[in-house]
Amino acid sequence: MTEYSEIVKNQAKIIAAEEWAKEVNQIHAHSLNSMWYDNRPQDTSDGKMVTDLHYNNGVVKRTCQDGSTVYFGAELSGDTLIDAYERNGT
């Protein structure tokens, strides 16, 4: 039976990392157009406010003042996601 223990541990790590990836890491409510990921200056022009939710999986979800939603970044997956999960002390 011990032949499967590593497979089971690895699968548990994958599941934990996938759950961790869905969690919000940071919240920014702002009117700045100088965010490192921002390629949409029109969202914050003329003092318009946005709310950016940064998820552990690398995606940023922006909600604009008019209610529209925009996504930035690429979602981590596979070994890259597991590496990020382990680097963050979980």
**Section 38-53 average pLDDT:** 95
Q: Is the pLDDT of residue 4 over 90?
A: no
Containing 63, the helix (H) or strand (E) segment is strand 60-64
Q: Which residue has the higher pLDDT, 59 or 3?
A: 59
Q: Where are the domains of the chain?
A: 2-87
Q: Average pLDDT over the chain, rounded to whole?
A: 93
Q: Is the pLDDT of residue 90 over 80?
A: no
Q: Is the pLDDT of residue 1 over 70?
A: no
Q: For residue 11, count CB atoms less than 10 angstroms from its CB and return exposed for 0-12, middle for 13-18, buried for 19 or more.
A: exposed
Burial 38-73 (b: 16+ CB within 10 A, else e): beeeebbeeeeebebbbbbbbbbebbbeeeeeeebe
